[in-house]
């Protein structure tokens, strides 16, 4: 009898959790898993990838003044994920919303440095620090 080869564990799938905006006007999106084209298209329909970070879940919902993208649980980002972050930043800026990335890991930070987006993407170590940046 031959032994069945042990399969390497699959990486955690991409997931976004949207936390409701709080009284201070802060909306938080908690991302986890690899922020890659493959992971995003595996977890949702292709036509919904572009609207992943939509602010409106109901027509009467108020637009936040601060948007925090918590990427603490994102181990790596590919070019599509980077494009999604930069596009979301531009979208926020165009609407007068301040966007701050939280929990940028070393591998993701290296990509940000290589592509020079670290020069304009606001980053903080924690959600509390991101909220304090908004107040200053």
What mean pLDDT, rounded, does the chain reach?
Answer: 83
Structure confidence at residue 50 as a pLDDT band (50, 70, 90): low
Q: What are the angstrom distances between the C-alpha of 24 and each of 30, 56, 65, 101, 131?
A: 18, 17, 8, 18, 9
Structure confidence at residue 118 as a pLDDT band (50, 70, 90): very high
Residues 105 and 81: beta-carbon distance below 8 Å: no
Cα(23)–Cα(89) distance, rounded to whole angstroms? Answer: 22
Cα(64)–Cα(119) distance, rounded to whole angstroms? Answer: 24
Q: Which pLDDT value is given to residue 67?
A: 93
Tokens in use for 49? 């990838």
Q: What is the tens place of the pLDDT at every residue in 68-111?
A: 999 999 999 999 999 999 999 999 999 999 999 999 999 999 99
Q: Which pLDDT value is given to residue 78?
A: 95
Percentage of the chain surpassing pLDDT 70?
74
Superfamily of domain 15-45+64-135: STAS domain (3.30.750.24)
Q: What is the tens place of the pLDDT at every residue in 7-18?
A: 444 556 888 888
Domain edges within the chain: 15-45+64-135
Cα(119)–Cα(11) distance, rounded to whole angstroms? Answer: 30
Cα(62)–Cα(59) distance, rounded to whole angstroms? Answer: 9
């Amino acid at each position: 009898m031959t032994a069945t080869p042990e399969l390497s564990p699959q990486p955690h799938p991409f997931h976004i959790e949207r936390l409701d905006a709080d009284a201070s006007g802060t909306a938080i999106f908690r991302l986890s898993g690899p922020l890659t084209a493959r992971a995003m298209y595996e977890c949702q329909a292709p036509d919904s990838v572009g609207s992943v970070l939509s602010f409106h879940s109901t027509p009467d919902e108020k637009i936040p003044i601060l948007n925090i993208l918590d990427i603490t649980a994102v181990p790596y980002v590919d070019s599509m994920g980077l494009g999604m972050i930069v596009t979301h930043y531009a979208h926020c800026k165009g609407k007068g919303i301040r966007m701050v990335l939280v929990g940028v890991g070393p591998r993701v930070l290296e990509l940000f440095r290589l592509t020079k987006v670290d020069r304009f993407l606001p980053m903080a170590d924690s959600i509390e620090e991101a909220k304090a940046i908004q107040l200053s």
